Structure 1
Amino acid sequence: MIASTDPSPTARLMPQGLFVFTLLYGGMTVLAGVLAYKQVQLWPTDLAVESGIFAFLLLVVISSTIAQLYGRDYAKRIVWWGFLPLLIASLLMQLVLGLPASTEMLEGRADDLAAFERVHSTVWRVWAAGPAAYIVSLLLNIWLFDRLRGSGEESTFGLMVRGAIASALSQAVDSVIFITLAFYGLFPIINLLIGQIIAKVVLSLVLVPPLIALAVKAARWLDNRPSGD
């Protein structure tokens, strides 16, 4: 008897759009921490925001897209499992930082080595603050995004409005948690806190809605499903 060449039932259970966005989500959890070291100015104001927010907003977009098309429960599981690549990346980084550098790097590229270690060596409070803010804000975003969903067919505009509201509120909470846990007692945090909240809310209102609409269309295209499904 010739064995069947059809995909297994398990392989057919995960839609292609869900598979692709799950991979992207894992990558963004790691990249957000790497990018956070640089502060960028939000032109034309003097407000600054840590650049990890751009990867973090993509986490918001991806989790909202998954909640929209595949259900809130799956989106919540993705958020919890997002700790796994974050944990592995953190452990690998500590391993690499602890390993001795090559002779060539010590003698010829000492500045590069110092820059690498300076960027990737962070205090324990920042390592603790990031995951705490991550889990609370993303679960809050999914809950708000789902609760604001009405009955019946939804327009693209309605999808974007829900995304904007959920992201703006969850990012404000994210800023309060992260900055308080990471920096309270080290220096006055009020100005930084206000600036971060304003910057993240503005970015949430401007960037997240069109990105969610685009991501939902992309996932539907990958799944080969009609736009109304």
Structure 2
Amino acid sequence: MFNFSWGVLFVLVNFTFFLICYKFFGRKGLYAWIGVATVVANIQVAKTIDMFGIVMTLGNTMYVSLYMTSDLLNEKFGREEARKAVWFGFFTLIMTTVIMQMVLVFEPQKGDFAQDAMQKLFGLMPRLALGSLTAYFISQFLDVQLYAWIRKFYPDRNQLWIRNNGSTMVSSFVDTLIFCTIAFAGLYSLTEWLEILFTTYIAKFVLTAVGTPFLYIARNFKHPEDEAALLKSAS
């Protein structure tokens, strides 16, 4: 029960920081969020927790916030801007993986206490990163395309929830399937793997719905630099 109540607070804090990031830093803040969330999610996913007797991985909240970010960019600035953000997140993950693997190669000093912990956390990162890179690349670009496609049929301002939930719920399943296959296949029994797969997707499904009101709030924020850029591109 503690993990559930703490998880509710955790989700609210994460999505609130997402709003703050966009409110104060505008479109640049969304790019920054993509970079940070991509790295943090891939660190968090190494930790598994028990919630109501079900094995779950962390990182789901951050992953869902990535879809929220690309959908917000798509909504306000267009498909090309969303694609650019996806490429930025892809680069951030590659950069972090390469640099952290180089860090682990350094010989630690006798009194060093961090090497073992870092080895455990980032030692699995190549496999996690391969799963993340593949899943991220495919699912995020799929989300951008789906969002734009759904928008053709549901273009009204009050239909944002259809565009957001429709694109994210499909692409997040693709993301979960690819990631779990590459990152966890063979590490867990088939039963545990299926449990992680379905609980992870269900968590993302619920989090997408929970994040929708935050997306509506974020869409109404106006940032001077962004508004000026939009007016310039429209003229």
Name the TM-score, length of structure 1 as normaliser.
Answer: 0.77
Deviation, structure 1 residue 223 = 4.4
Letter of the aligned partner of 2:196 in structure 1? L
Q: Does 1:118 align with 2:120?
A: yes
Q: Amino acid of the residue matched to residue 122 of structure 1? A: L
Stretches of structure 1 lacking an aligned partner (at least 5 in a row):
1-15
Shift of 1:153: 4.6
Which entry has the higher C-alpha Rg, 1 or 2? 1
CA distance in 2: counterparts of 1:169 and 1:60, whole angstroms: 11
Q: CA deviation at 1:41?
A: 4.2
Residue 180 of structure 1: how far off its partner (Å): 1.4
Report if aligned partners of 1:72, 1:146 keep a CA contact under 8 Å in 2: yes
* Mapped pair 1:20 → 2:23: no
- The 3-state SS of whatever aligns with 2:56 is strand
Please tell me the residue identity of whatever aligns with 1:30.
V
In the alignment, which residue of structure 2 is the partner of 1:210?
Answer: 213
Structure with greater helix percent: 2
Structure 1 contact 168–205 (Cα < 8 Å) conserved: no
2:194 corresponds to 1:190: yes
The number of aligned residues is 201
Q: Tell me what 1:177 maps to.
A: 178
1:39 equivalent to 2:48? Answer yes
d(CA) in 2 for partners of 1:137, 1:46: 29
CA distance in structure 1 between the aligned counterparts of 2:40 and 2:121, rounded to whole angstroms: 13
Would the aligned equivalents of 1:129 and 1:182 in 2 still touch at CA under 8 Å? yes
Q: Provide the C-alpha distance between the structure 2 equivalents of 1:162 and 1:152, rounded to a whole number of angstroms.
A: 8
Tell me what 1:139 maps to: 141
Query: How far did residue 214 of structure 1 move?
Result: 2.5
Matches within 5 A, 1:49-60: 49-60=56-67
Residue 89, structure 1, aligned to residue 92, structure 2: no
What are the superposed Cα offsets for residues 82-106 of structure 1, whole Å, 9 maximum, x if unpaired? 222211111110111111112332x
Distance 2:208 2:154 in 1: 25
Distance (whole Å) between structure 2 residues aligned to residue 167 and residue 223 of structure 1: 28
Give secondary structure in 2 for the equivalent of 1:104: coil
Alignment-mate amino acid for residue 209 of structure 2 = L
2:74 to 62, 67, 72: 67
User: Is 1:154 the counterpart of 2:157 in the alignment?
Assistant: yes
Deviation at 1:193, TM superposition (A): 1.8
**Cα deviation code 1:20-61 (max 9, x no counterpart):** 21122122222221111112445xx33343222222111111
Residues 141-150 or 174-183, more deviating = 141-150
CA distance, structure 2, for counterparts of residue 126 and residue 85 of structure 1: 14
Residue identity over aligned pairs, in percent, reads 25
**What's the CA shift for 1:65?**
0.7
Give 5+ residue unaligned stretches, structure 2: 1-24
Q: Which residue matches 1:166?
A: 167
